[in-house]
Amino acid sequence: MVTRALAGRLLTFTALAIVVYGAPNVVPPALRGVPNSVTEEINLDNTLTDAETIVSTVLVVDQKDGPKADTPPNLPVAETVVTAVDGVLTEAGATNSSNVRRRMLQTRHYSGAHELKKKRAISDYNVVFSGTGTGLTDRDASIQGTAYLTFRVVPNSTYNVEACLDFCSSEPKCVFANLYYELNNEALDHFDHEQSNLKCAIYGDVHTAVEKTNFGGQQSYRTGDSLTYIQQSGGWASKELVEPDAPEGYELVFGPTNGANNAPGYMGFAFLDKYDVDACARECNYRGADGRGGACQYFNIWRAVVAGVPTTYSCSMYYIPADASTAVNYGQGDLQVTFSRGYKRKNYITDGGFEGYTECSDFCFTESYASWIGTSPAGGYLDATIFYFNAYAHSGHGSALLGSATFADSLAGILTLTENLQTEAGKKYRVGFFQNSAFSGQTLQADAFVEVLWNGEAAKTYRVRDEGFSPEWKWVEVDVVARGNDVLAFRGGKAPAWTFLDDVALWPMFQ
């Protein structure tokens, strides 16, 4: 290890090196040189959750849906779609047409249903509301609600509750079933092979009689004036709601509670048409990186209930992991927060921030410690090092340097994790990190570069000449495919064109 105590021994040699390489104004990092752009703490002002925009968007989004008169039964459950992004409605959020949602190509969509942990029985359901009868003048309405899944017709020799609840139990996301007769529907009366007008519609959320708003009234028969109408619309809810598994690459931090996060590091939100943690995780995975904070590392999913009616499913994203201590937004006015859960992204790199190097309390550096090893090519000296010094770090006190710390040469060093990664062969992962190539100023940093080495091969090369000089830390990422037991390393530096690295991460990506 090279520490501040050894800096005096290096002074004469380093001073000569500065003259030799023609940069008389550069004091190298090993001698505690001052960066061209002094690192400041990440400014978290104005990065709290934008609850105002979320609430205002909840009040205008339209996600309610149900079977239409001309919709065929037994369609597969539609994939989860995004209905709003950062306050702007998508086509799916501006209309309640399931047909529109099915034909959408421009909106991200996700499947990701989990297996049922156990088959539910009829006794596992409660009656939420009953129908109004089947007399000649009795009229009723079916549910128009959020998280509509699909429907089928069941034998109508009787009001077939058992068949309907069996159907709900067969679908992992189903927690509610609406059973009703739809009369004067030509497709059901004559063309559907079941020859039944008893519809069983299933949902991924529980609904109440307040949401019985589809009274029929559509023209179905090609001739005549008969309009469709609804009778005997009953609703049943599962006694236990589906407990979602943590998405791949994430761990549950808290929930469910009735409070959403009001936390720093907020990156924006998306509304989903179902309560789908996998879809929210993908939104986080593919969210554009924040310039100062980096990639999304945490999401908070919750259900918005307005005046007692489920309205949408909010997915808020953050570059700083939050926890239950900031889950203090319980709603406002008629809006209530329910089923709030927080999930943190797993970093497969144990010490990507170099915070494990703690051999001093102010300024020191080393070629290696428990988590990382720096190596120099033949003739090189200290070409890859780890520093304890707040001024060189993106966050915390630790960072890594590529390029001779003493300015003894202009060779590229290699920084490697001491342990191979516990990756799964064939899976896609994302390497992300912050880099800063501003130490010596725009002219001298022109040749700065850093390569991401994945199993010894260059997966990505970042060059200042190609990307342009920036005095700020910049987030860099690259996707790689694992072969299992993978090796991650970084190569770069060409003193005085140094490159600092910090906050290195490796995350699994959904296939």
Please report, for the chain, the start and end positions of each structural domain, with discontinuous segments joined by +: 2-34+350-508, 51-59+245-341, 115-238
Q: So what's the pLDDT on residue 195?
A: 78
Q: So what's the pLDDT on residue 11?
A: 39
Q: So what's the pLDDT on residue 109?
A: 44
Q: Could you give the count of Cα atoms lying within 13 Å of 205 in the half-sphere of its Cβ?
A: 30
Q: So what's the pLDDT on residue 42?
A: 63
**Cα 33 from Cα 52, distance rounded (Å):** 45
Give the three-class secondary structure for 359: coil
* Sequence-ordered strand ranges (E) for 184-320: 198-203, 212-214, 216-219, 227-238, 250-257, 266-272, 298-306, 309-318
* Sequence-ordered strand ranges (E) for 346-454: 364-366, 372-375, 384-388, 398-402, 413-417, 428-436, 449-454
DSSP run (H or E) holding 77: none
**Cα 511 from Cα 211, distance rounded (Å):** 37
Instruction: Answer whether CATH 3.40.50.1110 is correct for domain 2-34+350-508.
Output: no
CB of 493 closer than 8 Å to CB of 413 = yes
- For the chain, 511 residues long, the average pLDDT of each consecutive 10-residue run is 42 41 75 78 77 96 92 91 96 65 39 54 93 93 97 94 96 96 84 80 97 90 80 96 91 97 96 96 94 93 97 97 97 96 95 97 97 97 97 95 96 97 95 96 95 97 94 94 97 96 93 58
Candidates 92, 71, 90; CA nearest to 142 is 71
Cross-strand bridge partners of residue 476: 433
Q: What is the dihedral sign for C-alpha 317, 320, 322, 325?
A: negative
Structure tokens at 100: 């529109």
The β-bridge relationship of strands 428-436 and 413-417 is: unpaired
Candidates 428, 439, 443, 435; CA nearest to 479 is 428
Q: So what's the pLDDT on residue 191?
A: 60
**Cα 148 from Cα 164, distance rounded (Å):** 15
Structure tokens at 180: 């009703």
**Cα 459 from Cα 450, distance rounded (Å):** 11
